[in-house]
Amino acid sequence: MRMSKIVTITADLLPPFILAFGLYVIAHGHLTPGGGFQGGAVTATGLLLMIVAYSYKDIAKAIRQDRFKLYESLGLIIVIGVGYIAFLYGATFFTNWLVNTPLPFGTYVPFGPNPGDLNTGGTMPLYNIFVGVEVFCGLTIVVLYMLSGLEEGEGSS
Amino acid sequence: MILNFPFITMVLVTIIGLCIILFRKNLLKVIMGISLIESAMNLFIVALDFKEGGIAPIFTLAPLEPGVEPAAAASAMVLPVPQALCLTSIVIAVATGALMLSFAMLIYRKYGTLDISKIRRLNG
Amino acid sequence: MRTITKVIPVIILLAFFMAMAASFDFGRPFQTAMDDYFIEHGQEQVGTNNIVTTIVFDYRGFDTLGEASVLLTAVLGVGLLFRRFSKGEEDEAAEEEDWQEVAER
């Protein structure tokens, strides 16, 4: 069941901007309001706009559901893995092992307001990115499952 | 009394959600009432940490007055901890809402109706 | 249930909540010692400008780990509810319903 002409044309034009804004919110989570969960929800909206505007049968052939399930699980496993690496430095679980070191994301930040630097933050940008991937894939999978259940319900009843 | 406006709004939305759960017979409307109560609780936990004349707890281009020491001016920031707890609460509300709506779809497919006074047949 | 049994608790709760909401002090939080520590030491210990994100991912990281697990479990639950039965499982489900009818009689 496709939507009308206005909705499909809008769904053709808008998704690149929504996806770009969502990835910006994820990547700058340690400088501006936002972060992993918020950016993941915005990015999922960009993809769901296309799914809602077109009929489910057209979209189900174009999106590979196995890849989305794999990326969602991988996102959570890598978040736990980044927490485990702190054991190599002799600290407890989930310690920030990148802050104030010459590795990437390790610049020192003095107290007080300053225009933000993207190179700061310790392990926080890594957490933001992988939690954003998990939320994005998870929300897309939920909507695809519900739409497939709707199709099957109408066909059987 | 007028200064406590967020708390009065929270109480009204909670009572409306409770009335919806008690007095309506359609299953989807009951789910909407549950979602209203969760949103009112998120509003309550964020309204607890406001300081008068406060700014957001973010140091990037913070609108502090020039010539004031940063340590003294950082006391104008609102408290950040309840905002972090509200984030967790919103995500949990999304997760339980998705599961509730999936259950409603399956109930309709099996019983043919969404009237809660007719869905009473527990097997076993 | 009768209507009067539903109306009385709602009125009692409404009066109690209104009395509680009117006694709050909006704009002057009660205790701020923990949050003052986070605002003061968040930049040099974690290295970000966003204090809310440092609390979510660094000072209280276990809550975020539990929340991500809850999200994953909800997606798993939705995937479990909408699975498609293969031919063998459909026959098994039909067999269960026959046994139930026999038990009811």
Which of A51-60, B49-58, C5-14 is most confident? C5-14
Q: Does B71 touch chain A (CB under 8 A)?
A: yes
In chain B, where the domains are located: 2-122
| Residues B70, A51: Cα–Cα separation, whole Å | 48
Confidence band for C94, pLDDT divided at 50, 70 and 90: low
**Does residue C93 surpass a pLDDT of 70?**
no
pLDDT, position A152: 67
Residues of C with CB under 8 A from a CB of B: 6, 10, 13-14, 17-18, 20-22, 24, 26-29, 32, 34-36, 38-40, 43, 49-52, 55-56, 60, 63-64, 67, 70-71, 73-75, 77-78, 81-82, 100
Q: Do C50 and A29 touch (CB under 8 A)?
A: yes
Please judge whether A122 and C68 are an interchain contact, meaning their C-beta atoms are less than 8 angstroms apart: no
pTM as predicted: 0.87
- CB neighbours of B102 closer than 8 A, spacing ≥ 6? A145, A146, A149, C77, C78, C81, C82
ipTM score for this prediction: 0.85
Asked if pLDDT for residue B121 goes beyond 80, the answer is no
Calculate the average pLDDT of chain B: 86
Mean pLDDT, chain C, as a whole number? Answer: 84
Higher-confidence residue of B81 and A1: namely: B81
- Rounded to the nearest 5 degrees, what angle is found at the Cα of A48, between the Cα atoms of A42 and A54? 155
Residue of chain C whose alpha carbon sits nearest to that of B86: C56
- C77 contacts B50? CB cut-off 8 A: no
Q: Give B-chain residues touching C40 at CB under 8 angstroms.
A: 71, 74
Q: State yes or no: pLDDT of B48 exceeds 60.
A: yes
Q: Which residues of B103-118 are buried (b: 16+ CB within 10 A; e: fewer)?
A: ebeeebeeeeebeeee
User: pLDDT band at B81, cuts 50/70/90?
Assistant: very high
Q: Provide the shortest C-alpha distance from residue A5 to chain C (in Å).
A: 31
Per the CB < 8 A criterion, the answer to whether A105 and A30 are in contact is no
Q: How many domains does chain C have?
A: 1
CATH for B2-122 is 1.10.287.3510
Residue pLDDT, tens place only, B4-21: 889 999 999 999 999 999
Q: What is the DSSP letter of C39?
A: H
Residues of chain A predicted below pLDDT 70: 1, 152-157
Residue B56 scores a pLDDT above 50: yes
Amino acid identity, position B13: V
CA angle A61, A63, A65 (to 5 degrees): 105
Query: In the predicted model, what is the mean pLDDT of residues B72-76?
Result: 70
Q: Tell me, what's the pLDDT at A156? A: 45
From chain A, pick out residues whose CB is under 8 angstroms from the CB of C68: 76, 79, 131, 134
The arithmetic mean of pLDDT across residues B57-82, rounded, is 75
CA distance C10 to B16: 10
State the angle between helix axes of A124-156 and A65-84 in degrees (0 to 180), rounded to the nearest 10: 150
Interface size between A and B, measured as CB pairs under 8 A: 39
Which residues have CB under 8 Å from A124's CB, separation 6+?
Answer: A29, A30, A96, A105, C46, C48, C53, C54, C57, C58
DSSP-derived 3-state class of residue B60: strand
The half-sphere exposure of C91 on its side-chain side, counting CA atoms within 13 A, is: 2
pLDDT recorded at residue B104: 93
Decide if A146 and C40 are in contact by the 8 Å CB cutoff: no
What is the average per-residue pLDDT within C32-44? 87
What is the residue range of C74's domain? 2-104
Average pLDDT on B66-83 reads 76
